[in-house]
Amino acid sequence: MAEYINVEKPFLEKLRALNWRIIDQGSFGIPQDPAKSLRTSFKEVTLKQEFKKAVKKINVVNGIEWLTDKQLEDLYNETIAAERANLSLLEANKQVFEKLIGVTKTTVAKNEVTGEENPLVKLIDFKHWDNNEFLAINQFRIVTPGGPREGIIPDIVLFVNGLPFSVVECKDVDVADPISSSVEQLMRYANTRGDDFGFTDGEERLFHYNLFSVATHGEEARAGSISGDFEYYLNWKDIFPEVYKNIDLLNYAAEETARYENNGLQNDPRVRQEVLIQGLLNKEILLDVLQHFTLFMEIKEGVEVKIVCRYQQYRAVGKIIDRLRNETTGKTRSGVVWHTQGSGKSLTMVFFVRKLRSQNDLKDYKVIMMVDRKDLEKQLSATARLTNEFKEANIVSSRKDLKPKLSGNASDLSMVMVHKFVQEELKHSKALMKAFVEEGKVPEFKPFDVVNTSERIVILIDEAHRTQGGDMGDNLFTAFPKAAKIAFTGTPLLTDRHKQKTHERFGGTGEFIDTYKIRESVDDRATLDIIYIGKTTNDNIKSKEAFDAEFEDVFKKQSKEEREEIQKRYGTMRAYLESMDRLRKIAKNIVNHYVNDILPNGFKAMVVGSSILAAARYQYLIDEALKERVEIEKAKLNPDIDLIEKINFIKIGTIVTKQDNNEQAFISAARKNAKELKAVDNFKKDFDYSTDEEGNYLKPETGVAFLCVCDKLLTGFDAPIAQVMYLDKSIREHDLLQAIARVNRTKKDKSHGILVDYYGVSNHLKDALNIWGAEDEEDIKELLEYFRDINKEIPVLEARYNRMLQLFTDKGLTDFKKFAEQSMSDKEAEFQLAEDCIELAESIPFRAQFDTYIKAFFDSLDLLFNSEAARKYYIPAKRFGYLLVRIKNRYKDPSMDLKWAKPKVRKMIDAHLETLGIDSRVAPVSLLSKDFAKEVKKLEGNSKSKASEMEHAIRRHIKVNINKDPALYKRFLKRMEEIIERYQGNWDAIVAEFDQVREDLAKGRKGDYEEEGLDEQQLPFYDFIIFSSFKDEVISGAEKEALKALTIELVSLLQDAINKPNFWKGRAAEIRKLQGEIDDIIDFSGIDEVSKMHSKLSVEIMNLAKRRHQELTK
């Protein structure tokens, strides 16, 4: 009820304010009548009549509806065809999606009004969005015959034209992490959460039509697609277009403050469910997102996912469209989109093209995508195919193709590298200049040719900061003088020392079209912050004298003449950076850091060498260091076999540009090895250690754990599995920001990106951030928090530890620090303090705080796990883990779990708990288990704790079993409440009474049979009829006998009918016939209290029979 009042009903009312139709079924028990949700059966997931009515209404000719009833029936069956096909959820969802947006054409044989053959049919009216039917239904019950549960009841389902576009799961704050619980429940409904033995208990047909789902608890709401797990459910924090922004995004309203004050407000009021509803579930926006901002994309070989835009992508596209529509010249239509690296700029371009093509006044635009690197061309061309109009032939592969391919007025999509705008003379300028000097001539240069003077061209420029200046930038503007140029960059040039600022170069207004900076991206969990680890070794040399001394030391084995030759040929710095001794030392350090801190969590690494030579050398030296580490592990007293196998599984790829024919053989061999490994593709895959029966790895190629690079893959390379970059190269300004952003992508269990610096680029970091200008000093200050030195994490860990202590000491547990640090000498007092901690957690707000604080503490501990500073927190971490598992078991709260802890911390805590006889991976001991008494006995001497343990175990047992025998378990629940009320504070008496309740629960109905003269199959129905009809009224002896006779007749009828194979599946006619017979028997039973409820009772008895099918058919 609290969930309905606090979350579900307010959600429905906000939708009502947006002119959605609402069917509110309340929250009073399980819905019994499918007609109330506009269905004929609880098996249906679509609203057939709503579909037919809506589709008929939106297909008109001259105001006349032309689809016939037969055609509508066929269209409905065609639309739900995926429900009958043997398709995966993603395949079915994609099939429906393509049908809805018109990629797959929907037709009928003939328009009976006009006579047109094979006319197109709209399933959604995108042009006139308000013509469609928008309906929200709560408590949308769906039965799932044959599953381990009887069905599912999503809190709210949102329908458009009778199709379920979104499922909303509402949680009141009755668990520690309500959003996580909501997402898990949505995944259960869709059968996407996985099961150890392949069982499913959801109904994925409901999600064939799903655009996205929503997880909410009012204070916060997130949305995600069918492909997303918890990490990919994100907030929708803005409302665009501005005309719909009628709520304050930055401040809480007074009533919201009052509503949330008992639970603590989120820091950011933009995460509220009101913002998501207004910004994403507005009718116009919802259909816009479906038509233009949703796509299916292969993220790695053989793995396709569904992607729905994020709010900044939706907003940016809308602003570009507005600018094209409202401005009058190429210059004023141009501008810059500043969206940070990793925030999906390439997909924003795709979404823009898709929306552009549906705008009648803009769809004739020629679109040109422009990149500045070959690898980006390959990546962006793959993304561009998602527009459904890009073809290989549209790539301008040479300068001579510029005019033939781009001078026409076709409204097509092309791609070109900006280097095609360099004049041939300038490519060879050094050789030409020498020839002109020798001939005594002054060179003459032709101006770059105009390619196309049309105003109906929009050029989308990727990473525009790199191409804005010089001849290439000038020639681009010359080639398309009237085109709108939309520049995308994550690192614009903003300071006066740059010849021209990015937004001034590309925009006439001098303002950005849209901004989405690093701070926002990290706050949104769209990208991660980056931890900086500086290696303070002799490699970080500042003075020339010190460097010369180090150079002499490194090359001391060479003669003076040889050293001079090295300096002359390579330069002192290059030779030093490439030296084998130096690289070998760093390679060992890389391997130790990777094996200790990165590999246990399942992530991978990039190594950036100062040159091609250095990058290739790193491959061989890292391989050498890995072999040494294996030998060290084997020599330990208790070798970690699992770790040794993981190290042996590792492979390394080197991705470098081919040099001339004289490059050294080991570089060529490294490149060949990377090609054979398909190193780039396999680097992106998760480690897969699965083996066949003989122990051979099935997917050894997934072991590519290191990519050694020099210049390649430092821009535009998207590999969420990369957590750490080992940097041994001088990189500055935007190139540095671009490079380190390779490790900022989100992935499950990845909390940070990490930069390990062997060159000493920390001084360049402030300079890199300063490219955003002095006017953004506050931005720079905040951004430095997201590029944090790891040494600054030590006080963060300490602060998070102290916060954990304060959580308990503020509640009066003054010795909690001693407990955490294992320094209490009185063991009885220590045990009592632990019980006091667990009792505090009965409060859900306290439990939520504990859950939040412990996650943050464990996250910091994982980051610093192998540092000396972290060791003093090992014992407190074990103690906190102990409390967490005890709290989870006591209050049966599934969200209080260690599953989110990183492997290093989890392994340490699990090992500690096992010494105490606790397995965090095993579900809490159930009430009727033979081990339950042992668990309670551990609390000997503390009757209050024993009573609490037993109370919550009894409640859990009743909750799990009540549907099988409602009357019996409601009696037990009432009995328990009476015991608590009667013996307030007398814990010994409560324990004794609860012990008797437990014994009686174990007996169940044994002993009742003789007393009532009914068997074990009949009694649950007998009690249920009495409970439903008579409530607490006194029943006469005659009525009892009549009720017994009625029950015997009903159960006999049920047993005869359902004792057939798959009775509840595919036997709709028999089920209807049986329910009708039951209804008649009840109606004519002669028992007034029962007869007047015959309609409701017949449905509920059928449901009870279904839940007790196994017992009835023994």
pLDDT of residue 19: 96
Pair 324, 244 in one domain:
no
The Cα-based distances of 456 to 84, 394, 459, 463, 746 in angstroms read: 46, 18, 10, 23, 38
Average pLDDT over every residue of 272-288? 96
| CB contact set of 1083 (below 8 Å; sequence gap of 6+) | 1091, 1094
Average pLDDT over every residue of 942-946? 65
pLDDT at residue 774 is higher than 50: no
CB of 79 closer than 8 Å to CB of 123: yes
- State how many domains the chain has: 5
Burial class, 314, CB count within 10 angstroms (exposed 0-12 / middle 13-18 / buried 19+): buried
pLDDT, tens digit (0-9, with 9 covering 90-100), for 713-763 = 887 788 999 999 999 988 876 677 788 888 999 998 898 999 998 887 766
| Domain end point (choices 516, 541, 565) | 516
pLDDT of residue 922: 44
pLDDT at residue 990 is higher than 90: no
Percent of the chain with pLDDT over 70: 76
Pair 773, 808 in one domain:
no
Quickly state the pLDDT bin for 1031 (edges 50, 70, 90): low
Q: Is 689 helix (H, G, I), strand (E, B) or coil?
A: coil
- Is residue 473, in this structure, part of any structural domain at all? yes
- Is residue 153, in this structure, part of any structural domain at all? yes
The Cα-based distances of 865 to 528, 597, 874, 898, 905 in angstroms read: 19, 8, 9, 17, 8
CA max distance for the chain: 127
Residue 614's identity, in one-letter code, is A
- Is residue 974, in this structure, part of any structural domain at all? no
Beta strands in 553-687 (DSSP E): 604-608, 651-655
Average pLDDT for the chain: 81
Quickly state the pLDDT bin for 936 (edges 50, 70, 90): low
CB of 313 closer than 8 Å to CB of 344: yes
Quickly state the pLDDT bin for 443 (edges 50, 70, 90): low
Helix axes 844-863, 793-809, angle to 10 degrees: 160
pLDDT at residue 793 is higher than 50: yes
Alpha-helical segments (H) within 357-498? 374-384, 402-406, 424-427, 429-439, 470-479
Percent of the chain with pLDDT over 90: 38
- Is residue 943, in this structure, part of any structural domain at all? no
Question: Which of 364-368, 510-514, 637-641 shows the lowest mean pLDDT across its residues?
Answer: 510-514
Q: Give the residue, 767 or 481, on which the prediction is more confident.
A: 481
Average pLDDT over every residue of 18-37? 90
pLDDT at residue 1097 is higher than 80: yes
Quickly state the pLDDT bin for 914 (edges 50, 70, 90): low
pLDDT of residue 432: 47
pLDDT of residue 652: 98
pLDDT at residue 504 is higher than 60: no
Q: What is the pTM of this model?
A: 0.75
Pair 352, 275 in one domain:
no
Average pLDDT over every residue of 790-799? 85
| CB contact set of 606 (below 8 Å; sequence gap of 6+) | 706, 707, 708, 709, 713, 722, 724, 725, 726, 742, 743
pLDDT of residue 48: 97
Q: Give the residue, 461 or 984, on which the prediction is more confident.
A: 461
Pair 334, 442 in one domain:
yes
Question: Which of 381-390, 447-456, 548-557 shows the lowest mean pLDDT across its residues?
Answer: 548-557
Radius of gyration of the chain (CA): 34
Quickly state the pLDDT bin for 371 (edges 50, 70, 90): confident
Q: How many CB atoms lie within 10 A of CB 875?
A: 14
pLDDT of residue 920: 44
Pair 722, 863 in one domain:
no
pLDDT at residue 77 is higher than 50: yes
pLDDT of residue 499: 40
pLDDT at residue 136 is higher than 90: yes
pLDDT at residue 290 is higher than 60: yes
pLDDT of residue 476: 76
Average pLDDT over every residue of 213-233? 92
| Domain end point (choices 878, 900, 924) | 924
Quickly state the pLDDT bin for 853 (edges 50, 70, 90): confident
Pair 276, 314 in one domain:
no
pLDDT of residue 539: 45
Task: Identify the domain containing residue 716 by its residue range.
Answer: 579-787
Pair 327, 200 in one domain:
no
Pair 589, 494 in one domain:
no
- Is residue 997, in this structure, part of any structural domain at all? no
- Is residue 933, in this structure, part of any structural domain at all? no
pLDDT of residue 607: 97
Pair 1078, 1037 in one domain:
yes
Average pLDDT over every residue of 944-951? 66
pLDDT at residue 339 is higher than 60: yes
Which CATH number do you get for residue 434? Answer: 3.40.50.300
- Is residue 240, in this structure, part of any structural domain at all? yes
pLDDT of residue 453: 93
pLDDT at residue 451 is higher than 60: yes
Average pLDDT over every residue of 622-646? 95
Pair 439, 411 in one domain:
yes
pLDDT of residue 426: 46
- Is residue 803, in this structure, part of any structural domain at all? yes
Q: Give the residue, 630 or 401, on which the prediction is more confident.
A: 630
Residue 421's identity, in one-letter code, is F
pLDDT at residue 773 is higher than 50: no
pLDDT of residue 1095: 80
CB of 337 closer than 8 Å to CB of 320: yes
| Domain end point (choices 464, 497, 516) | 516
pLDDT, tens digit (0-9, with 9 covering 90-100), for 1101-1114 = 888 887 777 777 77
Q: Give the residue, 312 or 556, on which the prediction is more confident.
A: 312
Q: What is the dihedral of CA 517, 522, 526, 528, to 10 degrees?
A: 120
CA distance 608 to 600: 22
Look-up of token digits 């001991």:
925
Average pLDDT over every residue of 797-823? 91
Helix axes 762-769, 733-740, angle to 10 degrees: 110
Quickly state the pLDDT bin for 960 (edges 50, 70, 90): low
Pair 1047, 909 in one domain:
no
Pair 773, 840 in one domain:
no
CB of 503 closer than 8 Å to CB of 465: no
Quickly state the pLDDT bin for 86 (edges 50, 70, 90): confident
Most confidently modeled of 258-262, 624-628, 802-806, 946-950? 624-628
pLDDT at residue 700 is higher than 90: yes
